[in-house]
Structure formats: structure tokens, C-alpha cells
Structure 1
């Protein structure tokens, strides 16, 4: 793989090497290393790319901080400013309101402000999708290609489906940034990478001359209609190749991406309803080409459709794809994928929506397959959750009443609703917006409305649930209360009991490795620290999990402020061994969740004051660490785990 190609960017962006951002990083490098960065444009650009790559490295304890700062810099430079929203936008809103029968609508100052906030929020969200993906382990592309793609996206406006092209982005563009289609992106970046890899010239020449070859026996069995179809397919394929080759010569990301989006057409609904087909296994270390070729053109959205990603994923483990039958009765339509990392299931993907959930028809097929794997139990929960959510969705469409069991599941009282996408199933929020949580809460808690306390003074012997601001020693006063929320349903306080003690550090490490739990290098350095100790005797310990925003502190509080606040609530810091112990006992952690262990910081190999972190990545469960300097400020959505004070 051509990992380093700064000359490509120097040719594209003549002013990049002397830009403020590249110059600033060069100065920083010289200050840290004492060595002067070459004045050659390519060297300065490569130094800049190396800095970005190191900043988003999963093992960098300051990764989240640097990623947040990078996003903010993009917001500052490319998100529309309130004063830049054109009057034409508001005129359009007035016209639409009139066409919908609302008469001549006046847009007041407050409403104008709200509309602008929606525009800005949507733009940030769409840009975050690109940044988060490019910074994820899934995006296994060279840094120079990532930079080219991201810089191109920043200049692209709305996609015109009729013209099949992207407009140019201006400072007054109100539309969000282009949607991220991982398969289309892989198609483009792989093609450009190939172009700059001399060792694949022979393969490119072979692909150029490749045609469908048929034996005489085959020809005798082909009807006139089938022969015409084959001829048409050959002609179409050649035309597509020629069109893409012309676009590739121009190296316009916007044009290439638009072409790729049109090429990756999803399977039809009729095809999705047919689940006849077969599983194909692509063994670890095998040639990635057959896998890539089987996916391209089907609009799966899987990044595996890109050669670089497919190659990397097959290096890590086996890959299984279920293909349903196409109109000719052949298993060619990709419907679901199971990717292994060594001997564990790393992910299960479907073709339903942008987040790659399983489509409504394929669940049973995948469930039967997962029984062959030792870690299929977690999948069973995801599959059951998706089925139950579908039942609720259908009930609400028919305006049928939801049972208490439905609501308990729907509001995730016992456990998060888990799906197979990168993010929570979007139906959850869509359906919740149609409900009245205040009216549903008594049904969920199996009590009367007046048995839900909202302040400390309302708590009495009849209280069945608490929904309100946390107060001093709340966890001692409400230790027997099953339901405690700061807000319903999003402010749930999760309490659990785990066993700690009775195991040495080496025994904990061996058990984690035996369960295929990944231990980051920084986490291992904390485990090896003299400050990491374990209790000799095993005992239960009560844990409380909450968000920083639940604490009632203003702004983004520091680590010290958080640690001080939890003492008032009746909590205390966890012993360091809670990190690996909780990791071992919390096997069904959702993919989109990251938990920080509230503990006394331990200096890792980098010398930073760190705390353990728990997450689930593509390779499975992780014991990780994060930087927790006393003055570090935390987002309101960051989740901590503390111990209940006895």
C-alpha cells in the first residue's frame, strides 16, 4: 500500500505546505524533537499528516481531546455562521408554509434563531459523520487520501440527483455536508490509490482487457434473449469503465464520489423478501479480491467493499457473507456479514439503512448461523431487541396500546436496546418522539403518578421511583429504590454489583486474554504499575454509573470537581481493580458506549495521570485508559463508574 504520497497533495494544493496549519505543526515538531523540519513542501506536508495520524491513534490517551479540537476547528472554518444564512432560506420557509395551507407566516426573531440552530446542528452532525469515520479503525486508507477526501467534502454542496453531481459549497450554503456512503468512498479511494501504486499496473492492464468468456458448450445453451442480455451487460460494463477512467484522470473527488454513489445501487425490496441463499466463508489471510468483487455494485454501504479494508479485515480473521438469490436464481445478493477478529465475532452487519442494521427479513438466517460461534449469545440479544422494536413500531403504526413489557423494553429500563449498526437504531428516537414519557413513566415503574418523587422532600415510604436532581447522600437514602433517574428516560442512573478481590493482577490478565478481551498498551502499563493492587479476599461491591451532566455541575467540570461532587452524593472512588474486574463481568457492553472508571489516577507509560476505560470496538471488548488530569474538563455526556460508599 502506498502509505506516503505528500507529492499528490502538493500538486493538488500548491499553498498547503506554506499554510498556517502546516507551518504551525512544523514549529511544534521542531520544538518537541529539536530537529528542523525540511523546507521541502513534501516533507512539511508529510510532517503535518503524521501529526494528524498520531493525534487520532486509538492508543493516544489524548485522542478524544485532540479529535474534539480538530472538529471545532472545522466548525469554525466551515460551518455556516448565523449572519451568513441567506434571506432566501427564510423566504422558502414562508413559501412552503403558504403552500401547506398555513397562510402568510411571519418568522419572528426567536423562530429565526431556532431555524438557524437547526441548520448549524445538522451541518455539524453531517461533518462529524465524516470525521468520526475517517478517524476510526475502519478507515484503513493512507493519510494523504483521507486528507484529500475530507478537504474535498468541505467544498461540496448538495447532491443533484437529476444532474448526478454535487454543487459547490459556499459560505452561505444551508444544506448539510454530503452523506457518507462507505462503499462509494471505498470505490473512489481504492481507485485513486491503485493509480499511484506502480506494482498494480499489470493488474490494471489485465482488468482493462478483461471480458466475459464463454465456452462453446455455454453458447449452445444460451437463448437469443440471454445472448442479447450478455452482450448488453458487456457493453454496459465497458461504458462504465471508460466513464470512470475519464473521471479518474481528472482526480475530482466530487465527480468520482457522485459516480460511485450512482453505481452502488441497493438491493430491491423484492430481493430482500427472499431469504433463500447460502453463506460463503472467506478464510483469514485469503485473497480479498473475490470478496470485494462480490460486494461492489450492491449498495451494502459496507466499507469491506473497498480493497484496502477487505484486505485488512481478512488479515484479522475469517469473513462470512450470506448471499440471497438474484433474479436468475444465483446467490449473488449480499445481505449480511459476520466478520471475525481471530476467533471472536467482531461485528455483524446488514444492509438496512445507513447504520447497516439487519433488514427485517434476514434475522433468522443470521441467528441460525451465529449458533455455530461461541460468542453468539450477544448476537441473540441484539436480534431479540430488533424483533421487539419492530413489534412496537408496528403496534404504534396501528395505534395499538403498548404493554408494560413493551414500555420497559422501549425505555431501556433493564438494559440498552442493541442493534447491529454503528449507532443506536434511529427508530428508537423516532418512536419515542411520538410518546409522552411522563404518561408512560408510571406504567414502566408499575406505580401511581404520585408514587414518583421529583425532589427530596417528596420521597416517602410509598415512593416507587425518583426522577429529579440528585441530592446529598441520595444513594444512601434511596438504596432500596429500584428506579432512580435525573430525567426520564435519558437520565437513568445504572446500579450494579460485581465481585472484586481474590485474584492477582496476572490472573486478571490471563482471564481477560482467555475471553479475547483486548488490553491496550497504556492499560497494560497501569496494570504493571506498583500502584495497581488487588484485594486478597473476594467481596461484592456496589457500583453506580452516571453521566457528568447528572451531577448538576455547570459547564464542563474538571476531574477534581467531579470527584468532589460524588462524595456529596454518597459515592466514592473505585479501587483500581474495578477496571479489569468490571471489564470481565460486563460482557454485553453496547458498541457506542465508553465508560470511565472513577478511580485515583495512576501514571501510565506515557507519564499521564490515567484512569481505566471500558469500550467495545471492532475487535471486541477492550480494557483501555484515558487521560484524567485533575484540571481536565469533561463533556456532560461522559459516563463514569463510582463505588457506593458503605
Structure 2
């Protein structure tokens, strides 16, 4: 007799959808999941089709729902990698007529009859793949987040549909079917339109009908592409005339109140907020109060949603606007800034975001007037010293828009206060007067950079910034380090504490300075998703060593201005926690403050994504050249 499976609310209805559309219960992947469960627990999954589907979907929770945000992110990266390999176009799949079309467009734009050589072809290919990867990741990030309170079945149906859809055809008002040679990105994610669709499907299986007969007819097909296209057309963004009016009123929707007034006030306004969906609004109001600012409509009534502040657990969970990626439009920034003062310390956390949005608007105004940007404005726009923080899910699109058309290499001498010949692009170009290096990393590069005293180092500008700094370590016991972190209000994750308690964690008796280098897996020049061993070996080739374990706590105490949402790993010899998992320290900052945590780092099977950041120690020149003694990497990887 098979054991029954537990369902989350709404799952049985959505699982019925998957049974009807895909016979998912009888698929090879569902059968494999059932076998895996039996082998792991000794319990057989019942033959009930809905149980078998839910058992398969539960596997994704097991993978993603880890005990730290970093582990969940890492697990999601592994799933993303599988989707990228399966659904993102490969270089050899790009049809030749795509490149011919680029030549035709160039002629039409007055560039003449250009030739697409191998380098240009490579660059165009990289853009296609990057755009497809990014557009698919947005769906996966959202559907795996707590902001998407839908059943697993609906999420599966959505994602399985999206990977078969091309970009929206505005003339035909349809999403064409993707083919193997489709070069366009995956569909844009509109959370509001998605909420309409998924709410409607849930209601259908509850025996309810929508108020629109046309939509009901499409709903019968259970065709996500058609339903999403219909919803996209119904989502009408505010007009420029409506956006020009900023006077209005804030409305507070109390926690646990009826969610329908909030839903009805948002639907049809094209905010892009998932809160326009009934399920999401209900879930969010269960978590806390919800504030919406409505500006005046043409009739002089406050009905146009412009900004929202969502509370959860007594804290501000998010601030959203109606600009692209749910950033604040320029007219709403001051309104939100004033409102945030009512939230005390919670509002203070958002001050930098308000400042950044105001400065971005000011820069945009200068560019429109064809005025020159000064050094500070350029440093801000290129995010040289700190990231630009906005209120949306992604980067404010104005950043890329303002950078587009600029010549970075004309701006670099202004930012770095140097002449063009003081910027090196190859190791052989580094001279005593060099002020900046923008180029590939190669063996011995870091010692050359240090000897020349070069402050600005990039593998590519502005994305590939390499951070180099000195850190004082030693002179403190592990107990003193823990006490200082607690005194500063730093959170220490329990497994990180276990690593500190381990006899493998030691500290130097005397103080000493260590030079650190922080860079990404991509900066190292590694492709794909390398293992920990491969990351460490490549760093060793470049003249970097593993950090002493005490770098983790010492750097945590020093890096108190870490941006919200950022996290990076310490490249160190792994220390096992109590259950034997080998880990390294990672430093993070989230809504609960600064963290010293641990990340899994098994030597041969952890796949690191290109954007993962590591901190390594710069190997001292005396170790490699004067004393000729092997570095830490050589000792670890010597076979």
C-alpha cells in the first residue's frame, strides 16, 4: 500500500492540470522520483496520479529549500545550469540567415556592406546566449522566490510553457512557438499578467468563471501562451499624462484585512506587481500591512498606483514602483522618501536607495541637455566604488540606457585621473606610471600590479572589477573574535560557529598583514561551473593562495559597509562541521544584518557559477621567487 503525499494549498487542482495536459504522472521523471523516494525512505508512492505528480514536484523543494540563502541560491544555480544547457541556444544552432539579417540591417542603417568576420560572429553569438540566459533566469528566480505564492504545479506549468515561447509579437498579439534556431530571448516576465493567469486557472478548477467570456474561452484551452498574451494586452501602464501628476494619497491596507479592495485597486493599471493577483495579495496581507500611493487620475481622484511599501514581521519587506523592473519612477522618489521617515530605523535602511535614484535622475537630466558629467557622476554611473541601489527586482534600466552610447575609454581617464597611456590592457604594458589595468589575468599578474601600486584593476570594465585590500589578522583568539562580532551585532550562523570551534580553526599569536584579492569565478577565466578544486587550482596558477581560516572573522569585522544582498566566499582550506560537511566561510548582508556563515565547498562536486566571488590571499613574492618554497596551493594540490 503506497503512502499518501502531503499537498500545499491549491496543489491538487494544479496537479490535475498537469495530469490532463502532460500525463506527468506517467512520465520517466515522475517514475524516477517515485523510485528515488522508495530507495531513500522505504516507502512506496501510491499509484494515485496526483500523488505521483506531487512526489515529483516535491523533489524541487528538497533541492532548493536549503537552510541558508546561499545554499538555496547555489542549489538554484545548479537547476538553472540544467535549463540553460537544455533550452538556451547553442552557437552551432544559430541559423546563418540571422547573420545575413544583421548585414541587411547594417546596410539599412547606413553602415554600408559590412563583413561579419569570426570575431564579430562570436560577439553576436555571445549577446544572443546572454540575453536568452538572462530572460530565462528571471522566470526561474521569481518562481523560486517567496514572492510567488503559487502551487508547485502552477509553477511547473508556467516554466514548461515559457521555454517553448518566443518574444511577444505585438502585431499579432501572440507568443510564437520557439524552435531550435530561435535567437530571440524568452518572454518578458510581467508579474501582474502572470498573477491574472494563475489566479484564473486556480478558480477554474474550483468551478468558478471569470467575468470575461472571451477569457473563459481561452481558459478552456489551458494554453499558457494564449492566456498570458491576453493578460499582457489587458495590463495597461499609466499614461505619460497620468505620470506627470504626482499629488495623491497613501492608503494603508491592514494586515489580515480583506485582500480584494487591494486587488481591485491595482488590476488593470499595469503596475507589473504580482499583488494584483488575488492569491499573492492574500498571502502578502497575511504577512503584514501594505501601503499604496495613488496619484490623481483624469477625474481628479487618487486611483493611479505609483508606489507600494509592503511590511512583513514588522519590517519593510520591499518598496516597489511602476517603472521597469518595478523601480520607482522619478516622480515617486520624493513621495516614497517622505513616507519612509514614518518608519524610523526601517526607513533609514532605504536612504541610500533614495539618494541613488535621485542622483540617477539628475544625471539623466544632464545627459538629456547634452551637459558634461563630472568625475563623481561618472564614478557613480559606472558603479566604480559602490553599486547603484534601486527599489526594483533588477538593476534600474536607466543605468544601461545612460551608459549606452558613451565611450567608456573616453571616461576612464577622467574617473581614474590619468592619461590614456597610463591604462594598461596587457601585463606587458604595465609600467611604473600605470594607474589602471583592464585586461586578462595571467600568471604573476597580481605581484606586478602590487609592485606598480595600481589601484584600479578590471578584467573588463565596468563589470569585472578586482578588489585588492590589506587586512590585519592574528593577535586575537577565536573566543575574542566571536566576542567582538557579537558586540558589533554580527550574526554568526550555527555551522560557521562550529567551524570556528573546530581544532582546524587556528589564529596567529602575533598580528600580521595579509594582502587579499577578491574576484569572481569568471574573472579567473574558468568556463562553465567548475568544482572547488578547479577554482582553487586556477587561483593558484595566478599567484594566489588560500586564506588562513581566521580571515573570515577578521574580514567580517572590517567589512561593515557591505551592500545589502551581497555575499562572497573565503577561499580557504575547508573545515568540516559537526556532521562532516566541508565548508568555507562566506560573508553576507541581508535584511537581518551582517552575517558570518558557511558555504558547502566539497572539493570535487560543488559547481560554482561564473558570478560567485571568492577572496584569496596574494602569494608573497619571497615565497615564490626568493625562498623558492611552494605556496599553499602547491602543498594542497601536490599529488
Superposition TM-score tier, normalisation by shorter sequence: 0.7 to 0.9
Post-superposition shift, 1:155? 3.1
TM-score normalised over the length of structure 2: 0.80
Query: What CA distance in whole angstroms lies between the structure 1 residues aligned with 2:77 and 2:191?
Result: 22
Which residue does 1:278 correspond to in 2? 249
Which residue does 2:353 correspond to in 1? 382
Structure 2 vs 1, CA of residues 553 and 445 (structure 1 numbering), >3 Å: closer, same or farther?
Answer: same
Structure 2 vs 1, CA of residues 456 and 107 (structure 1 numbering), >3 Å: closer, same or farther?
Answer: closer
Post-superposition shift, 1:141? 0.8
Which residue does 1:637 correspond to in 2? 611
Post-superposition shift, 1:358? 0.8
Contact 2:516 2:618 in 1 (8 A): yes
Deviations 1:431-471 (A, max 9, x none): 33423333322221122334445566765654444444363
Alignment partner of 1:330 out of 301, 304, 307: 301
Query: What CA distance in whole angstroms lies between the structure 2 residues aligned with 1:376 and 1:294?
Result: 25
Post-superposition shift, 1:511? 6.2
Contact 2:18 2:157 in 1 (8 A): no
Alignment partner of 1:168 out of 177, 195, 200: 177
Contact 2:135 2:186 in 1 (8 A): yes
Which residue does 1:428 correspond to in 2? 399
Contact 2:13 2:202 in 1 (8 A): no
Query: What CA distance in whole angstroms lies between the structure 1 residues aligned with 2:298 and 2:187?
Result: 32
Residue 591 (structure 2) pairs with residue 582 (structure 1): no
Structure 2 vs 1, CA of residues 333 and 615 (structure 1 numbering), >3 Å: closer, same or farther?
Answer: farther
Residue 67 (structure 2) pairs with residue 59 (structure 1): yes
Which residue does 1:74 correspond to in 2? 83
Query: What CA distance in whole angstroms lies between the structure 2 residues aligned with 1:541 and 1:287?
Result: 58
Residue 26 (structure 2) pairs with residue 15 (structure 1): no
Alignment partner of 2:134 out of 125, 128, 132: 125
Query: What CA distance in whole angstroms lies between the structure 2 residues aligned with 1:85 and 1:439?
Result: 34
Alignment partner of 1:45 out of 36, 50, 53: 53
Deviations 1:587-618 (A, max 9, x none): 55144x43223344343476432234345567
Post-superposition shift, 1:425? 2.2
Structure 2 vs 1, CA of residues 553 and 132 (structure 1 numbering), >3 Å: closer, same or farther?
Answer: closer
Deviations 1:79-105 (A, max 9, x none): 455666566656755665565556777
Contact 2:195 2:277 in 1 (8 A): yes
**The residue matched to 1:362 in structure 2 has which SS?**
helix
Q: Which shifted more, 42-51 or 492-501?
A: 492-501
Post-superposition shift, 1:311? 2.8
Deviations 1:10-65 (A, max 9, x none): 53235322223223333333333333333443232111101022222253776455
Unaligned runs of 5+ in 2: 1-8, 621-639
Post-superposition shift, 1:522? 5.9
Contact 1:533 1:577 in 2 (8 A): no
Post-superposition shift, 1:404? 1.5
Which residue does 2:159 correspond to in 1? 150
Larger RCO, structures 1/2 (Cα 8 Å, 6+ apart): 1
Structure 2 vs 1, CA of residues 399 and 597 (structure 1 numbering), >3 Å: closer, same or farther?
Answer: same
Which residue does 1:362 correspond to in 2? 332
Query: What CA distance in whole angstroms lies between the structure 2 residues aligned with 1:411 and 1:108?
Result: 30
Post-superposition shift, 1:351? 0.6
Alignment partner of 2:311 out of 331, 340, 355: 340
Structure 2 vs 1, CA of residues 156 and 560 (structure 1 numbering), >3 Å: closer, same or farther?
Answer: closer
Structure 2 vs 1, CA of residues 98 and 416 (structure 1 numbering), >3 Å: closer, same or farther?
Answer: closer
Which residue does 1:219 correspond to in 2? none
RMSD value, Cα: 4.0
Structure 2 vs 1, CA of residues 310 and 411 (structure 1 numbering), >3 Å: closer, same or farther?
Answer: same
Structure 2 vs 1, CA of residues 537 and 316 (structure 1 numbering), >3 Å: closer, same or farther?
Answer: farther
Structure 2 vs 1, CA of residues 370 and 442 (structure 1 numbering), >3 Å: closer, same or farther?
Answer: same
Residue 523 (structure 2) pairs with residue 550 (structure 1): yes
Query: What CA distance in whole angstroms lies between the structure 2 residues aligned with 1:251 and 1:556?
Result: 37
Post-superposition shift, 1:112? 6.3
TM-score normalised over the length of structure 1: 0.80
Structure 2 vs 1, CA of residues 569 and 86 (structure 1 numbering), >3 Å: closer, same or farther?
Answer: closer
Contact 1:85 1:174 in 2 (8 A): yes
Contact 1:281 1:318 in 2 (8 A): yes
Post-superposition shift, 1:252? 2.7
**The residue matched to 1:168 in structure 2 has which SS?**
coil
Post-superposition shift, 1:407? 1.8
Contact 1:350 1:420 in 2 (8 A): yes
Contact 1:574 1:597 in 2 (8 A): no
Unaligned runs of 5+ in 1: 209-237
